[in-house]
Structure 1
Amino acid sequence: MILDSLKRNGPQSAHTLAEQFTVTPMAIRLHLYDMENEGLVSSENQSVGRGRPLKIWGITEDANRIFPDAHQTLAVDLINTMGELFGNQGLDKIVEAHGARQKSDYLIRLKRTTTLEGRIKALAKIRTDEGYMAEALQDGSSWLLIENHCPICSAAKACAGLCKNELEIFQEIIGHDALVTREDHILAGARRCTYRITEL
């Protein structure tokens, strides 16, 4: 539960986590120290004016093994094998065909959703079901589709076309009445992928 909160909400203090789980900060710290020993979390001190600095906890890269990985080793091996057999152009065609099937599936599941808000929330639900820990949040006049985990991260590193396809698919299924842009990208070093959706 603590790891899930840190994954979804980013680095936090023991006090903030304690409020979420209705326990004492000391109880949270004991869990955090255990997870730190396992290499799942790390902390850094944050200055908050006078007094002792605040210890902020976040997950480490090793913690990703706790979350769904979508059989990443197999996926990477398959991608590399397809590249060897069919070359880059052949791999591009395979990624394109995969994207077409994915888009078709999403469109079927969203066909009864008529509003922009409904489509975004429905897409977040679909992506969560696929292991992306997605959520839809309103941000002023825009919406944010946030994916706190990437279950195909290793595969995406091996084949950048997968990420490019996802952005294009989101734009098509959200509709021509909105613009979809990627603001944060896990492969670029961000802790999550964030897509801003702005109604035109």
Structure 2
Amino acid sequence: MGTNAQKKSATNRTRRAIVNILKQQGATDAQELAAHLGISAMAVRQHLYALQAEQLVTYHEEAREMGRPAKLWQLTPAADRLFPDGYADLTLSLLDSVKEAFGEAGLEQLLDVRTRHQLEAYQSAIPAQASLSQKLEALASLRTEEGYMAEVQTLDDGTFLLIENHCPICAAATACTGLCARELEIFQRILLDAVVERTEHIIAGERRCVYRVSRQD
């Protein structure tokens, strides 16, 4: 590989890394991005301006106690194309076809079957005797494999956050809200010893989906 090709490959990797960090963390300044990537803030800004020219990122300014306001960078809706979309067009077409052929009852039956299969797959991969923390980590790993970019955070009060930074079925979930309702149901059935509450929702305009998970009293 020639020098120019190597530089282009390195540039693409860095920009993809920046996009992934913004997807997972939300609005972030150049200094923090630089710390994650191990490169200078100046280099990060050059990449950000290039991504901005492609309409993949934008920023808003945040006042700081000292100095000039900081630019907090975030992804634009156009950046969604860089992440798995779950074959959105095909899924929407199939949902419409099921509804047309079998009505709402048929669609509910389809969701029942999907829920059962998904629950069985998760239950076979997550030991029932595992701790709540272990179950959440295993669930996050499975969801990440499915394209949800999931992670678990432990809060000071002992509760957990299951965070999904991307929704690969967003278009389908927007058209069929039952998909989201069933996912919440699945999480509750996997985490039998916990209470699961959705606190942020991509479909409602949030950047991510977040589930607060607490042990039952």
Paired residue for 2:104, among 88, 96, 113? 88
Normalised by the length of structure 2, the TM-score is 0.89
* Number of the residue aligned with 2:185: 168
Deviation at 1:93, TM superposition (A): 1.1
Question: Which of the two has higher C-alpha Rg?
Answer: 2
d(CA) in 1 for partners of 2:144, 2:205: 21
What is the distance in 1 between the residues matched to 2:105 and 2:57?
A: 41
User: In the TM superposition, what whole-angstrom CA distance separates every residue of 1:78-114 from its partner, at most 9, and x where no partner exists?
Assistant: 1111111111111011111111110111111113652
Q: Is the 8 A contact 1:39 1:60 kept in 2?
A: yes
Consecutive unaligned residues of structure 2, counting only runs of 5 or more, are: 1-16
Q: 1:23 to 1:196 in 2, by over 3 A?
A: same
Could you tell me whether the CA contact under 8 Å between 1:132 and 1:148 is conserved in 2? yes
Matched residues in 2 for 1:113 and 1:105: separation? 16
**Of 56, 60, 67, the match for 1:44:** 60
Q: Is contact 1:146–1:192 with CA below 8 Å preserved after alignment?
A: yes
What is the alpha-carbon distance in structure 1 between the residues aligned to residue 58 and residue 65 of structure 2?
A: 22
SS at 1:12 equivalent = coil
Picking from 2, 15, 20, the partner of 1:4 is 20
Q: Say which of 204, 207, 212 aligns to 1:188.
A: 204
Cα RMSD, aligned residues only: 1.0
Count of aligned positions: 199
Does 1 or 2 have the higher relative contact order (CA < 8 Å, sep 6+)? 1
For residue 166 of structure 2, the aligned residue among 142, 149, 155 is: 149
Pair 1:13-2:50 in alignment: no
Report the alpha carbon displacement of residue 139 of structure 1 after superposing the two structures with TM. Answer: 1.0
Structure 1 range deviating more: 148-157 or 44-53: 44-53
Percent of matched pairs sharing the same residue:
43
Between 1:145-154 and 1:78-87, the stretch displaced more is 78-87
1:145 aligned partner, one-letter code? L
TM-score by length of 1: 0.97
Task: Answer whether contact 1:80 1:158 (CA < 8 A) is retained.
Answer: no
Unaligned runs of 5+ in 1: none
Following TM superposition, by how much is the alpha carbon of 1:50 offset from its aligned partner in structure 2, in angstroms? 4.4
Residue 194 of structure 2 corresponds to residue 178 of structure 1: yes
